[in-house]
Amino acid sequence: MNISELATLLQAELVLPAAELAPGVTAEMELTALSPIATAAAGSLTFLTQDDYAQFLPTTKASAVILAKARPDLRLAQLVHSNPYWAFAKAAQLFFPPREEVPGVSAQAHVAASATVAASATLYPFVYVGDGAVIGERVVLYPGVYVGPQARIGDDSVLRASVVIEAGISIGRRVLIHGGSVIGADGFGFAPGAGGYAKIPQVGSVVVGDDVEIGAMVTIDRGALEDTTVGRGTKLDDHVHVGHGSRVGEHTIMCAYAGLAGSTRIGNWVVLGGHTGTTNRVEIADKVQVGAMSGVTKDLSEAGVYMGFPARPVREWRRDIVRLRRLEEMDKSLAKLTAEVAELRSSVAK
């Protein structure tokens, strides 16, 4: 596609270099690749989302760049967009479209007689679809996928190899689930007694909304009595755990190894950093950001950035870190003062 067409698709402002600076760069120039700014070749589209890489702009061999603000004297076309990272993502989708699948059910797949599979769906070898399950239009199930009885997979969803969807689980439309994830395993519910632990039957379900992406090796447990839910547009990184009965809002991000204990409530547009965890029944408000390695032990009821264990407003956490770093110095000062007081008391006694 040419630069002008791409600018229109991205709704970006096209700024062309002066003819004397780059006579070959025109609105009709074809773009053939998407490349990093430091290694791009002629005909490539590149992007600038961090000022650290601005040093490469004068020397990059790319033919066009996506950026937030036009820069004078550049020898390449500029696609100016208020959100260059989003524009880059959209451009990448154009350059690297998803592979086209051939609809059909492999002879090596097992589909229960009572299951419903759309004619446009693709089922690879060793897929298992249980009784009463529903597989929507253009769904793709890769080898080793298990879809339990009465589960539902919405239109245009893709389940990569060895994904497990347990009985009665509902997956929305345009959902992507990466390999090895398990949706709908029993929640961790046990009642202690004199003779050991009594298992609490987990009879709730899991409901995953539209446009959700679930990384590799993610586990989302079904609730004991109520459903576990993941809202529309939410993205879960690899190795995330969502405990039974939890509710994750819309457009929320959970980074790798983040984990929610049972009955946690997460709002919309929340970001949980890597290795973040919560205790049971914690509530986190909309637009909260929790930094990596933090522990949420009580409700976070106001939007903002939180850090540490227990998680607290980031300014408080930074002050606490400064105090911690001074502990050794303060300990030495206290020891010196204690010795001086002891010496003074000894002098007074004499």
Angstrom distance (rounded) from CA 327 to CA 324: 5
Q: Evaluate whether 177 touches 171 at the Cβ level (below 8 Å).
A: yes
* The pLDDT of residue 103: 97
pTM score over 0.85: yes
Helix, strand, or coil (residue 198): strand
For the domain with range 3-95, which CATH number is right: 3.40.630.10, 1.10.1200.10, 3.40.309.10, 3.40.1390.10?
A: 3.40.1390.10
Q: What pLDDT tens digit does each residue of the chain (350 aa) get?
A: 889 999 999 999 999 887 666 667 788 888 999 999 889 998 899 998 877 788 888 888 899 999 999 888 888 999 999 999 999 999 999 999 988 899 999 999 999 999 999 999 999 999 999 999 999 999 999 999 999 999 999 999 999 999 999 999 999 999 999 999 999 999 999 999 999 999 999 999 999 999 999 999 999 999 999 999 999 999 999 999 999 999 999 999 999 999 999 999 999 999 999 999 999 999 999 999 999 999 999 999 999 999 999 999 999 999 988 888 888 888 888 888 998 898 888 888 87
Q: Evaluate whether 214 touches 232 at the Cβ level (below 8 Å).
A: no
Amino acid at 197: Y
239 is catalytic: no
Q: Evaluate whether 260 touches 242 at the Cβ level (below 8 Å).
A: yes
Angstrom distance (rounded) from CA 247 to CA 109: 33
For the domain with range 104-316, which CATH number is right: 2.40.40.20, 3.40.50.1220, 3.40.50.920, 2.160.10.10?
A: 2.160.10.10
- Domain regions of the chain by residue span: 3-95, 104-316, 324-349
Number of Cβ within 10 Å of residue 113's Cβ equals: 5
Catalytic residue among 81, 178, 244, 251: 244
